[in-house]
Every structure is written in structure tokens, then in C-alpha cells.
Structure 1
Amino acid sequence: MSDVFDVYAIRNDFPILSEKVGDKQLVYFDNGATAQKPQIVLDAITAYYSKYNANIHRGVHHLSQVATQAYEDARALIASCLGVSNSNEILFTKGTTDSINLVAFSFGELLKEGDEIIISAMEHHSNIVPWQMLCERKGCVLRVIPMFESGELDIEAYREMLSERTKLVAVTHISNALGTINPVKKMIDWAHSVGAKVLIDAAQSVQHMSVDVKDMDCDFLALSGHKVFGPTGVGILYGKEELLNQMPPYQGGGDMIATVTFEKTTYNTLPHKFEAGTPHIAGGICLGKAFEYIKTLDMGAIQKYESELLEYATGRLLEIEGMRIYGEAKNKTSVISFLIEGTHPYDVGTLLDKMGIAVRTGHHCTQPIMDFYKIPGTIRASFAFYNTKEEVDSMINALNRAVGMLK
């Protein structure tokens, strides 16, 4: 890619961006919920089902071997993109939620009563509820890192919470509701100093920045395919090999076994030990294609472009009377949550939809954040590298019209 980021050329890779909502041009600002798919991913879905659809692993026939090779090539490519040298440390899952639940169950089996798990005040429900369930099951203690009004974590409070009782820290890399980028590398170093392991929820980060798990030194990392321009229903869990080998399987069934008798079952080696049953084969292959697409891009240029887009959109939104933006961290990615005085977020979102603008309204599966700010929810505009300043202007015009109708 050249030094100049050509957003208009990039947009040509995403067919859905030319769609209309009624007679209005679609403006898609709901990338935090799911990202759109480039043509390379769409073509790969069709190619799998039309040319080599077959179950993978153990098959001796040609189609099975082709599908198996494509699936395992995808695993290896994803590993490479995440800075992982051993692709056995990459597990295919259903998504971030499934990945976190896998760790909560399997790593959780190694914990005992009184062990502490630390999460943060800005976590998605998927990084809260599994740990609550684990604490109920095993008698562990859940502790929560507090948050400042700015939408930044109280890092010093976190440091003081760490102790020899801390066994796991599970924290989001980027808040899906506020856009805050957390200092995860520092948080990981501090956790490791007391012997704790760390899981990073990267559902919102890989699409916005380069992520290298070896440099980060996290013990686990979870992400969803559909948020990184791949299919729904597939995701990744990275785990350090030594840890994964210690953990019991999350589910039992085909492919995760070495031998089965009625007296005893022995488990397969990594990564298959944690991949029971027929996987989302097309999903895994096409997630590989999504990462292949991302590799063609200059992530440094993307970060710079998205930062400019965030700054521009923030400035334009603040021109609207009664505007309040939630999440004003110094280190932030291209997510803006806001409310407009005298309006309800659902009403505004509904009117924006009539004008072709897709945003998300509600608590964004982060109800504790909304309770912290004492609000019912927000309007969230979340941008990807294929969005433009012209689209931001369209949203501002639509917001002004909506506010005029509601006030």
C-alpha cells in the first residue's frame, strides 16, 4: 500500500457498501457489532461449498484432503498474523464468547476456593458472566478494576489488587462501548509478577491495530471472526501450549480423542483436544481469507486514518447542541458512544435508520458501564477503515434532522 491510504479503493473490496436502505445510500457505522466482508471472503465461502465441501481430518478421499489442507493452512496463516510460531496454540472456536467460556471452564478446573479472578469495569458481558459462573462453581472470588469518568481504567488500583491469590486477569484490549485502548502489555507484566495468567479479549482490536501475542506475552487471547471481516460463527482462542496441555477438554466428542473404549478415553494432541465435533469448516477457511486480506493492508496507515476519522467525527458531533460523548480516553480507537439531551437513543437510532445510517443503540452488552454513567444506553457509531468523512457528514445531517423531529 502507498503512503496515502486510499479509502475509496478499499471500499470497492466490500460489495455491501454500495447497497441502499430504501432510497438512501447505506452508511454502515455498526462495525463494533460486526464488520462487513471483502469479496475475497465472499468468494471463498462459495468456493468451499461448490468445489470441495467435505468433512475434514481422517478422510482419505480427495475432497476431504483438500478441505483439511485449506482449514489447517488457515490456522497456520492466522497464527502467523498474530505472531504465533506454533499453530497448535491456535484453537478454532465459535467466537470470542465461546473462547472465553472455554478458558473459564477448562482453566477454571485448575482453580480452587478462594482463588481470585480480576476483570475490569468496562468488560463486555461475555467477559463477565463466564467468570461469575466459574466463581459460583469453584468458590473463587471475582474482583473488578474500577474505571474513571473519562472511560479509562484505574491502573494503580489494579496494581494494588494483584496478589498471590490472583490466578487470572481477564481484560478487554479495547472497550466495545467506549473505544478505550487499555495498556494491556503493562497489565500483563504486572499480573505475571505475582504468578497470575492473563486472558485478553481482542474482539475489538485486531481489526484496528497489529496484535502480536508473543510481544504482548498474554497467556490467552480471544477474538471473533465476524468482527475482523470474516464469517459469523467462528473465532480464535490463542493459548500458550504449556497451559493448554495442563487444561482438561471443554467438550467431548469426535476429533478430540486419541482412543476411546468404554473403560477409558485418551485425548488428542493440540489443537484437536479442544475442537470436538465437526467444526465450522467454511468459517475457519474463510477466516483465514479475512486475515489474508488484512495482511495486504498497512495497519499503520489504517490506524492513522481511523484516528483522523475519529477526530473528525468527534468534532462534528460536538457541534450538535446537547451532545454528550461517553468515553474520552486519551488512547482511544474509532468508537463513539453518545447521547443527545432531550432524546432517547432508540428513537434517534430508528430515525437514523430511515435515513440510511446504521448505528447501534442500547447498552452494547456492557450494562455495568451504563450503570456507572447512570444512563439507559447510548448511540454508538463504530467505524472501520472503509468509512469516510463524507459518511460522517451524512450522519451529522441525519442527526440534526432527527433531533429536530424529536425535540
Structure 2
Amino acid sequence: TKIKNEFPVFKNKVDGKKLIYFDNACTVLKPKSVIEAMNNYYQNLGVCSGDRSSHLLSWRVQELVEQAREKVREFINASSTKEIIWTKNTTEGINLIASSFPFKKPRDEVVLTLLEHHSNLLPFYEQGKRRGFKIRIIVPNKDGSLDLNLFKKIITDKTALVAVTHLSNVTGLIYPIKKIISLAHQKGAKVLVDDAQYIATHREDVQKNQMDFMVFSGHKIGGPTGIGVLYGRESLLNNLFSYNVGGGTVQSVKIHGNNIKVQYLPPPAGFEAGIQDYAGIIGLKAAVNFLEKQNQEEIADYIEKLSHYAFEQLKKIPEIKFLADYQNQIPATLISFYFSDKKVSLYDFNLFLNHELKDYFVAVRCGHHCAQPLHQFFNTSISMRASFFIYNSTKEIDILIQALKDFFNRKK
């Protein structure tokens, strides 16, 4: 109850009912400190930053933006603020790498896994068609785990980049990123880590894990939508091709006749074209501060206990099937499941949670979670996902479990 008081949305009712929110893998709700930080920008500043204007208010915004960059650097333990690039979200960060990474023969292959969100698959698919690099896919085991021997086999001297999720938004499993990075580096390949699901609940250390590139979205950690982060080692960022260019990215532009000569700024400015989401950046800093105040190690432990509790309770319902077999590892932050009887609709149960419970409105995710190939691998088209954060409780999970039982009893 105490932590819920930090999230204004819980003071509201949905159609007269209390909200139980289990859609945290989609987006985490916003603490009031984030909302207040953003409101402060709009109410008291609301101007461009100092890299675009020259008055006192603009330099105050610039100072807040760079304070946020330093906070994110510290949060993920990057070695320099030059390694922190603002993006719209995880998806844009991945598109930036897919479009800008210098693929050169014989290194013209990208290794992905079947676990990837569409956002870590489609950018490489599209750019591969345009730029001529090849994609190789590693298939997981039926329990959702990854076989490191497949990485040893598929990562070769032709591999330029490995792009992999740290925590799947479908299986909820954490993957051995440090070992995967080590295998890639042994072959001279670089690694892009999709940290969108991992970083809200687990402390990331890009130096300790020897990450080359890492991406995440602010809204996944309780920050605003529309702001994300691309981390890249400074030496690697300096070798990327220009991506999104325009105002704010150039040192100089000269035209002689029909010839244009451009000198771009080094990272991060060279990749941050146009007016930035200043309120979002400021809100992201507030979200990081909020997480750090709660202690991420304790957050990870608490949410893992919630996931394990939900898993054990769901196992007792015979009509439930899990996507993965979960033989050796239990999901860390979320559970995805479907009904053994395909004639019983997950969408009907979703409506049941929204409209049929007397006192509660329960929000879950029903669909393919932007991971259609993985659902096909598990022989289903959709699943229902319950994902957890610090404001959830075992009591709320019990309400979901009872709702499932009541729903199936109605079907008998």
C-alpha cells in the first residue's frame, strides 16, 4: 500500500473498480516524482536547450539534460556521458545500430535468436535487404532456454554483430548475456543487448558485462513514453555511419556550387537530431532516482518471488498451459500462458477480467506480444501475459487465479 501511494493512477478507479495492473512488461506506471519533474519543465521552463538557444532559460534546460545524461551513465555504469545517446525508445536505438553499423565483408552476418521482439528482428531484416548483410537465427530449447553450444557453432569469423535480448518479454527468462558476449568477442564480433525488459528490475553494468551496445526505453522503468537510451562504447559509436541528421548534429555545413560538405559532431550530439524530448529526458532522470531509492536488488528479489508464486498457482489449474516447459528456470518477471482448449478464447477471459469482476479491474496483456515467430515455435498464435512490478502483491495474483477458476466454471 505504501509504495502504491507513489503512483497516482491507483487513486483512480476504472469503471468504479480498483485497478490491478499486470501489464508492466508493456509499460510500467509512472510515480508522482516523474510526473512532477515533467510538469516542472513545462510550467517553469518549456524552452529549447542551450545547444539551440542562448538565453538563460535555455541553459538551465541544457544543464538538466546533461544532469540526466550523467544520471543514466551512472545508472548503467558507462565510462563516459559521450556513450549515452537519447532516442525515442528501444526500437529506435536498434534501428540506429541496424542502419549505422559498419558491416564489411567478410563480416557480413548478424546473429539473432528466435526469442527476439519484432523490434530486435525487423530492423535487421529490413537493413539486411538494403545493405546486403545476412541474418542467422538461433532457436531456443522447448523450455525457453538458449543452448550456448549453438552460439559457439553459429558465431563465426563472418559474424559482425550479435543482437540478443537479456530478458524475454514472452518467456520471462533471463539469458546468460555475459557468456554470449564472451563467445562473440572471441570471434571478433560485437554485441547489441536489448535490455528493455531487464533493466527495470535488475541493475545493469555495461562495463562489467563488457557490452558493446545496449538499448532500453524510459517507460519500461517508470519513466515517460517517447524517451529511450542507446549506450555504445565510445570507440564504436565513433565508427558508426550517420543515421538521423539535421539540426543539432553538425559542426559545419558548406556549399560550393552543387557540392555540399558536412562535418558532423561526434557522439552523442551527432546522433541527436532536432529538438529533443526535454521533458522526457528530465522525467527519465526522475524515474532512475525513484528506482535507486527503492534498491534494485530488492526489487529484483521481490518481483522474482511474485513470478514464482504466480507460476506455482497457475500450475494448479489444469486448463492452463505455459508457452515454455520451464524445466530448469522459472520466469523472473512475467508469466505467459494459454488455454489447453483452443476453443476457449483468451480474449473472452480478457473481457471477463475487465467487466465481470465485482470489485476489481484486472489489466493483463493478450496477444502475440510483438513476438510472432516465438509463438509459432511454441505452437500457438497468442498467449496471455501477466507481468509484475513493485506495486503488485500475492493477494492480487490470488484475485487473478480465482478469476481464472470462475471463468472456467462458467464454461462447464
TM above 0.5, one fold?
yes
CA distance in 1, matches of 2:18, 2:54: 49
Amino acid at match of 1:303: A
Match among 373, 376, 382 for residue 371 of structure 1: 376
User: Contact 2:106/2:158 (CA < 8 Å) preserved in 1?
Assistant: no
Asked if residue 392 in structure 1 is aligned to residue 385 in structure 2, the reply is no
Match of 1:208 among 201, 214, 220: 201
Shift of 1:114: 6.7
How many residues of Structure 1 are paired with residues of Structure 2 in the alignment?
Answer: 399
Cα 1:259–1:63, aligned 2, differ >3 Å: closer, same or farther?
A: same
1:66 paired residue number: 60
Q: Which amino acid aligns with 1:340?
A: F
Note the 1:229-378 alignment, pairs <5 A. 229-262=222-255, 263-327=260-324, 328=326, 330=329, 332-342=331-341, 343-354=344-355, 355=357, 356-378=361-383
Moved over 3 A (4+): 109-114
Task: Assess, with a 3 A threshold, how the Cα gap between structure 1 residues 196 and 331 changes in structure 2: closer, same or farther.
Answer: farther
Q: CA deviation at 1:406?
A: 3.9
Q: Which moved more, 1:183-192 or 1:58-67?
A: 58-67
Find the residue that maps to 1:215 and give its secondary structure: coil
Residues 124 and 176 in structure 1, CA contact (< 8 A), matched pair in contact too: yes
**Unmatched 5+ residue regions in structure 2?**
none
Q: Which amino acid aligns with 1:52?
A: L
CA contact (8 A) 1:112 1:138 kept: no
Paired amino acid for 1:304: D
State whether structure 2 residue 101 is matched by structure 1 residue 102: no
Instruction: Specify every segment of 5 or more residues in structure 1 that has no aligned partner in the other structure, as ranges.
Output: 1-7
Q: Distance in 2 between matches of 1:18 and 1:404?
A: 32
CA distance in 2 between counterparts of 1:191 and 1:114 reads: 13
Deviation, structure 1 residue 321? 2.4
Distance 1:64 1:256 in 2: 18
Deviation at 1:123, TM superposition (A): 0.3
> Residue 94 of structure 2 aligns to which amino acid in structure 1?
I
Find the aligned partners of 1:36 and 1:243 in 2 and give their Cα distance: 34
Which deviations, in whole Å up to 9, do the C-alpha atoms of 1:331-379 show, x marking residues without a partner? Answer: 6312100112332221111211223110000100000111001111101
The question of 1:174 aligning with 2:173 is answered: no
TM-score calculated relative to the size of structure 2: 0.94
Moved more, 293-302 or 81-90: 293-302
Give how far 1:146 is off: 1.2
Does residue 145 of structure 2 align to residue 152 of structure 1? Answer: yes
- CA RMSD across the alignment: 1.3
Paired residues of 1:110 and 1:247 also in contact (CA < 8 A) = no
Partner of 1:5: none
Distance 2:53 2:407 in 1: 58
* TM-score after normalising by structure 1: 0.95
- Which whole-Å CA distance do the structure 1 matches of 2:143 and 2:246 have between them? 47
Match of 2:82 among 88, 105, 118: 88
SS of the residue 2:332 aligns to: coil
* Residue number in structure 2 paired with 1:194: 187
- Spell out, residue by residue over 1:48-74, the C-alpha distance to the aligned partner (whole angstroms, 9 max, x if none): 000011111242212101111111110
Query: Which range moves more in the overlay, 180-189 or 353-362?
Result: 353-362
Helix, strand or coil for the counterpart of 1:222?
strand
Q: Distance in 2 between matches of 1:317 and 1:24?
A: 24
Contact 1:31 1:384 in 2 (8 A): yes
Q: What's the secondary structure of 2:179's corresponding residue? A: helix
- Residue 79 of structure 2 aligns with an amino acid whose one-letter code is S
- Cα 1:405–1:111 change in 2 (3 A) is farther
Cα distance in structure 2, aligned partners of 1:46 and 1:24: 28
Secondary structure at the aligned position of 1:227 is classed as helix
How far has the Cα of 1:16 moved from its partner? Answer: 1.1
334-343 or 30-39: which moved more? 334-343
Q: Does 1:25 align with 2:18?
A: yes
Q: Output the CA distance in 1 between the equivalents of 2:58 and 2:154.
A: 51
* Separation in 2, partners of 1:138, 1:364: 28
